[in-house]
Amino acid sequence: MKLYFPENYKAKLDLKQTEKAIKLIKDFCQENLSSELRLRRVTAPLFVLKGTGVNDDLNGVERPVSFAVKAMNDARAEVVQSLAKWKRLMLAHYGIPAGYGIYTDMNAIRPDEELSNIHSLYVDQWDWEKVITAKQREIDYLKKVVNQIYSVLLRTEFVVYENYPTIKPMLPEEITFVHSEELLQRYPKLTPKEREQEITKANGAVFIIGIGGKLSNGEVHDGRAPDYDDWTTPNSGGYRGLNGDILIWNPILQQSFEISSMGIRVDKEAMLRQLEIAGANDRKELMFHKKLLKDELPLSIGGGIGQSRLCMYFLRKAHIGEVQASLWPEEMVQQCAEHNIYMV
């Protein structure tokens, strides 16, 4: 188990205060996100049919939870790992026009997750998706949307401070943009995670562009599935990739803290290119991929924002188990309790 115990840690809020603060954060954040990006709330599935190409395979190695559906001749269903592709189908289903989108509460189970201060079997996030035009498939538009999301984080942090004055705002006024290739050149001897650590500690909040495509050293900064984020299209900065991660510096854990993965989604050409790179051309026969190849799905930008991660950060908690109910090894629960970290 990978655990970090802050020295002399003591939660700023007790259990009752924490539950009230979680509701405050979630209500305020989603309302502002909806208003800022012009998103309509929709209801999302907990599971989808296997073999349709709708479920997200994340890095391609994580096993989804699956089960047989008796009423459908034992067809296999899978608990969602994210809703990256389902949301795009819904944009078409609802007939959402360009400039508008949807968001939903996504609840997932990831049984292969390595449990730690920030990783749980249970994932809760706001999944959002917005219809864009062909002209908006470029880096400046991606940055614009990142800045809009970051403005929601700043406002949420202030509301928490207004209600709980002992929790002082710490986010910088602006988020810093950096490409993963630029990070490699700046810190050539460090691993990708170590580069994230250095750049986030120095700037407080960063958006790392270009996640999934190969860097000049032949490696990738981090894995991405080939059929939702566009990580190969050249952008105006000369780099490849129209996606990225929002990271903020976590003062309690003393580490970079990913709170969102997002990006402009693949168009037909980008998906064909990335399926070839990933050796996944067989996916072209799946339902989702056929629709995209037939131009039946709109161009879009989208991502996920971790709800428990945000609550953890804004409430200065040391473990994600302090803000969400999940399953934890008894040894972890005991070790955390010994360091004044008490699970919900």
Q: Which two tokens stand for residue 19?
A: 């539950």
Half-sphere exposure of 146 (CA within 13 A, CB side): 29
CA contacts within 13 A on the Cβ side of 319: 28
Among residues 159, 146, 163, 253, which one has the least CA distance to residue 205?
146
Integer angstrom CA distances of residue 56 from 134, 160, 282, 343: 24, 33, 16, 29
Which one is catalytic: 30, 81, 82, 125?
125
Active site residue 110: yes
C-alpha atoms less than 13 angstroms from C-alpha of 77 in its C-beta half-sphere: 14
Check: CB of residue 295 under 8 Å from CB of residue 316.
no
Active-site option among 120, 261, 300, 324: 261
125 tagged catalytic: yes
Which strands form 66-69's sheet, in the order they lie side by side?
Answer: 47-49, 75-79, 66-69
- Can you tell me whether residue 241 is helix, strand or coil? coil
Residue in 91, 32, 125 with CA at minimum distance from that of residue 301: 91
Number of other residues whose CB lies within 10 A of the CB of residue 256: 22
Active site residue 260: no
The H or E element spanning position 273 is helix 268-278
Q: Which of 34, 57, 78, 110 is catalytic?
A: 110
Question: For this structure, is 245 an active site residue?
Answer: yes
The catalytic residue among 57, 124, 129, 245 is: 245
Catalytic position from the list 36, 113, 198, 258: 258
Active site residues: 56, 110, 125, 245, 258, 261
